[in-house]
């Protein structure tokens, strides 16, 4: 009886500890920026090294800036609940994707293009998820790199679109059209 009672008392604390973070996310390091730079250059199609470095630096810097602005201190789904309840200003995945896309587009890259993608839009069980994509200029979005600051609560995740094991991405514009949201699909410079 004592073991069961002790478990019932500690289980909520364990669940809470697993759900909470320890403070704000850390900014990316120089080695993080270097790794993303190399990955962007490796996409080929004439990606300029200095543009790749600017894009990587901007992606990590904006992720950290947005984490502070969004007041990120919880795991993503808990933060989502706080945003939806009005306790936090922003921080849903599409906020991250939109704000990051706008910052990257403002950089005016010549050898890189910025896109958006959505996963799980047609899955009735899972919530949909939005992200920004960096691809070589003129190349299809799906040969690009997923730039996802939401997934780890303000710590940047990136991977080639085709190698992202957690999400099956689809072009944002195609998803919005498929769901009858054409007005939104036509917004933004590159969707």
* Residue range 72-97, pLDDT digits in tens: 999 999 999 999 999 999 999 999 99
Does residue 51 contact residue 134 with C-beta atoms inside 8 Å?
no
* Residue range 23-58, pLDDT digits in tens: 656 666 778 999 999 999 999 879 999 999 999 999
Task: Decide if pLDDT at 104 tops 70.
Answer: yes
Instruction: Pull the structure tokens for residue 57.
Output: 């630096």
* Residue range 160-185, pLDDT digits in tens: 999 999 999 989 888 888 878 766 54
pTM: 0.81
Give the residue carrying structure tokens 């410079």.
189
Task: Decide if pLDDT at 2 tops 60.
Answer: no
CA 68 to centroid of chain Cα atoms: 15
All structural domains of the chain with their residue ranges: 28-185
Give the residue carrying structure tokens 């939005």.
130
b/e map 22-40, b = 16+ CB within 10 Å: eeebebbeeebbeebbebb
Task: Decide if pLDDT at 64 tops 70.
Answer: yes
From residue 136, alpha-carbon distances to 21, 31, 51, 148, 180 in Å are: 35, 22, 11, 17, 29
What whole-number distance in Å separates Cα of residue 170 and Cα of residue 161? Answer: 10
């Amino acid at each position: 009886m004592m073991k069961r009672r002790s478990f019932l008392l500690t289980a909520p604390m364990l669940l809470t500890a697993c759900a909470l973070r320890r403070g704000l996310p850390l900014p990316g390091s120089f080695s993080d920026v270097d790794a993303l730079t190399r990955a962007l250059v490796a996409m080929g199609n004439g990606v300029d090294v200095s543009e790749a470095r600017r894009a990587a630096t901007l992606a990590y810097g904006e992720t950290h800036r947005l984490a502070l602005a969004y007041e990120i201190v919880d795991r993503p789904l808990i933060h989502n609940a706080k945003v939806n309840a009005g306790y936090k200003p922003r921080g849903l995945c599409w906020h991250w994707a939109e704000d990051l896309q706008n910052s990257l587009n403002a950089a005016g890259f010549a050898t890189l293009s910025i896109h958006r993608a959505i996963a799980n839009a047609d899955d009735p069980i899972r919530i949909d998820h939005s992200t920004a994509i960096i691809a070589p200029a003129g190349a299809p979005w799906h040969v690009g790199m997923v730039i996802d600051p939401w997934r780890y609560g303000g710590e940047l995740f990136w991977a080639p679109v085709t190698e992202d094991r957690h999400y099956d991405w689809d072009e944002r514009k195609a998803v919005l059209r498929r769901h009858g949201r054409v007005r939104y699909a036509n917004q933004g410079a590159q969707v």
